[in-house]
Amino acid sequence: MRTANRVRLGWRPRLYGALGSTFVTIGLVLLLFGVYHLYVVPAKTDREQHALEQELDRQWDQPDPAGLPAPVVGNPWETGAPPNGKPLVRLTIPRLNLHWVVVEGVTLADLRRGPGHYPGTAYPGQLGNFAVAGHRAPRVFWDLDQVAAGDPVYVQAGSTVYTYTVTGTEIVRPSDVDVIAPVPDNPAAQPVKQVLTLTTCNPKWASYQRLIVHADLTGVRTVPPDTVVG
């Protein structure tokens, strides 16, 4: 009888051992994912942003035919938007103590370089909605939920700095694309002012929602192109 019991119960140690190995494997995978997300991705983004800063500085400081410096004045995109993945403007959020070079486009390849401008939306200072997406990752929009109404957001294009003031935030479904309409959340309306919209995944570590930050243009000033406003 005792032998029969040992045979019937022999599966339990094997099952517990298999479950233990599975949980250890899952734990290691989650640990590696966290390390990659918290350390490897930010390091890659920093390298991309450093290259974009240099490219943007060259773009904003082209010499004229006489060999004299000719810093960009006004909007660099007046003659056409850059190709996807190329630098467009500099974006600064003092609340987060961070600034980025925004690229044109929002494909995965574009957003690996930093925040990206939604093609088809307005450019800074233009009537309508200048909409920018960014990954919910450290060194990008990881702490975007800390931005609050009244906070300034600076967008620099050449020698022109546009100051936007945050008006509020909302959380929407990924399918709610009306947040980047010329009049956010009201695609049938005609724009009467210049606004900024920032979008990222929500919550952290997931993507089943979108965190949205809205801001209105409240000021425009001129600075030397090599100035980093913040």
Q: Is 37 a catalytic residue?
A: no
Query: Residue 31 and residue 4: Cα distance in Å, rounded?
Result: 42
The pLDDT value recorded for residue 122 is 95
For residue 191, cis peptide bond before it (omega within 30 degrees of 0): no
The pLDDT value recorded for residue 229 is 83
Query: Residue 86 and residue 82: Cα distance in Å, rounded?
Result: 6
Q: Is 201 a catalytic residue?
A: yes
| Integer CA distances (angstroms), 200 to 18, 26, 115, 143, in order | 39, 27, 10, 10
pLDDT beneath 70: ranges in the chain: 1-41, 62-80, 225
Of 99, 117, 135, 214, which is the active-site residue?
A: 135
Query: Residue 50 and residue 52: Cα distance in Å, rounded?
Result: 5
Please identify, in words, the CATH class of the domain defined by 71-222: mainly beta
* Sequence ranges of the domains in the chain: 71-222
| Integer CA distances (angstroms), 109 to 43, 105, 112, 157, in order | 16, 9, 5, 23
Q: Helix 11-35 and helix 2-9: axis angle, to 10°?
A: 20
Query: Residue 31 and residue 28: Cα distance in Å, rounded?
Result: 5
Of 99, 117, 201, 214, which is the active-site residue?
A: 201
Length of the chain: 230
